Amino acid sequence: MRRFSWINATSLTLGFAFLYLPMLILVVYSFNASQLVTVWAGFSTRWYGELIRNEAFLDAAWVTLKVAVVSSTIATVLGTMAAYTLVRAGRFLGRTLFSGMIYAPLVMPEVITGLSLLLLFIGIGLDRGILTIVLAHTTFSMCYVSVVVSSRLDSFDRSLEEAALDLGCTPFEAFRLVTLPIIAPAVISGWLLAFTLSLDDLVIASFVTGPSATTLPMKIWSSVRLGVSPEINALSTILIAIVTVGVITASLVSKRAIAARQRDERAAAAAA
């Protein structure tokens, strides 16, 4: 049945080329010895060395990491709380409006989110810097967390919580000891999503930042405007490598967990 016609082969090649050719060029040129980005002058790891010595890039990377960790953690807490409340609250007047409003920031243009946050920060007289970027990232990424967590909670067997209450848990203990451990995978993937969104973000961060804080995407963007340097290529290659390793690890771990579970269930059924 498995025929590999030339049409399949062509479409596959074209598709992958479309997706990965730009990145491949970037990776290849990061090992270029020449100062000029478009002229190949032999293999070298020189730009990686330069990158490590570039204080400005390292600072930006450090700011980005701090912002991403803090904002995604706050967003996860708030997003999980929002999802839990909306799923558990049952029906009340305006419930659809509320849950719709949670999702609205997903489709809101980033420029508008950024601008409105900027106006808010100016209005309340908050000094712009790392703190404002963290707040802005928390705001837009918590709705992503809430979407991920609420879809998990929708399929969550309510009787597990009732069983916990029945066995003597207070409602908070029931959440901490039963609900949270069970929905933990969704909460973690919500955190990862928020973390990635924060790492990626250029537009909103540009709006709300001040002179003291520059994130990596902002740094890359402003450097590129002065001309693409091979250092940027090297930096991008490192980022691609980190993301690739992360994605592959995550999928391997979840695949292994599913396989182990299926094996256990088969064993249990056979022993019955």
Contact indicator for 27, 234 with CB cutoff of 8 Å: no
Task: Identify residue 51 by its one-letter amino acid code.
Answer: L
DSSP 128: P
178: number of Cβ within 10 Å = 19
Least distance to other proteins from the beta carbon of 184, Å? 8
Residue 96, H or E segment:
helix 95-107
- Binder among 24, 101, 151, 265 for other proteins (CB under 8 A): 265
Is 187 an interacting residue with respect to other proteins (CB under 8 A)? no
Is 272 an interacting residue with respect to other proteins (CB under 8 A)? yes
Instruction: Tell me which residues in 5-34 interact with other proteins (CB under 8 A).
Output: none
For residue 234, count CB atoms less than 10 angstroms from its CB and return exposed for 0-12, middle for 13-18, buried for 19 or more.
Answer: buried
Is 269 an interacting residue with respect to other proteins (CB under 8 A)? yes
Least distance to other proteins from the beta carbon of 183, Å? 10
Helices (H) and strands (E) in the chain, counts: 12, 0
> Partners of 32 in the beta sheet?
43
Q: Please give the size of the binding site for other proteins, defined by CB under 8 A.
A: 25
Q: Which is nearer to other proteins, 245 or 253 (CB)?
A: 253
- Binder among 74, 134, 178, 216 for other proteins (CB under 8 A): 178
Instruction: Tell me which residues in 136-165 interact with other proteins (CB under 8 A).
Output: 157, 159-160, 162-165
Instruction: Select from 35-43, 115-123, 129-137, 178-186 the region that touches other proteins (CB under 8 A).
Output: 178-186
For residue 265, count CB atoms less than 10 angstroms from its CB and return exposed for 0-12, middle for 13-18, buried for 19 or more.
Answer: exposed
Instruction: Select from 10-18, 66-74, 94-102, 259-267 the region that touches other proteins (CB under 8 A).
Output: 259-267
| Helix residue ranges per DSSP H, 108-229 | 110-123, 130-154, 158-166, 171-174, 180-200, 203-208, 216-225
Least distance to other proteins from the beta carbon of 236, Å? 40
Which positions touch other proteins (CB under 8 A)? 157, 159-160, 162-170, 173, 177-178, 181-182, 261, 264-265, 267-269, 271-272
